[in-house]
Amino acid sequence: MDILKVDKMRMSTTINKITIKGFVGKDPAVRYTGSGKAIVSFDVADNDRSKSAKSGRTYINTKWHKIVALNQFAQQCIDTIKKGDFVVVVGEQHDREGKNKYHATIKIVEIILFSDDCSIEVLN
């Protein structure tokens, strides 16, 4: 294999990493593939604080992140994650299209945990 291709592959697997620190909103939802493998999903909230220059008032903006765990991470989440836990998630961001309740096409951003360089840790 060409060295340049290997370097590009290596770079593409290391650049797409995102770290989220926040609180789990609901207990993880578990579903199974046809072959019996678990897929776990849950949401993590983080807060961003900003101060108005005009009024001096502090505002808190809560952002929700959709987490999807596969392979060994699915079982780890089933065993350890629950609503209210403070977690640190390192995963890969993936975008996909979906439909909302009005059948309009929307962009869905997910943090996927599936490879060895991903991680999740509960810090309660």
pLDDT for the residue 13: 53
pLDDT for the residue 16: 83
The tokens describing 101, both together, are 């309740």
The tokens describing 119, both together, are 């991680």
Whose CA is closest to 41, among 115, 123, 117, 109? 109
**Which residues have C-beta within 8 Å of that of residue 110, sequence separation ≥ 6?**
66, 67, 68, 93, 94, 95, 96
pLDDT for the residue 116: 87
Could you tell me the fold of the domain covering 17-122? Answer: OB fold (Dihydrolipoamide Acetyltransferase, E2P) (2.40.50)
pLDDT tens for the 124 residues of the chain, in order: 444 444 444 445 557 899 999 999 999 999 999 999 999 999 999 999 888 888 989 999 999 999 999 999 999 999 999 999 999 999 999 999 999 999 999 999 999 999 888 999 999 8
The tokens describing 73, both together, are 């991470």
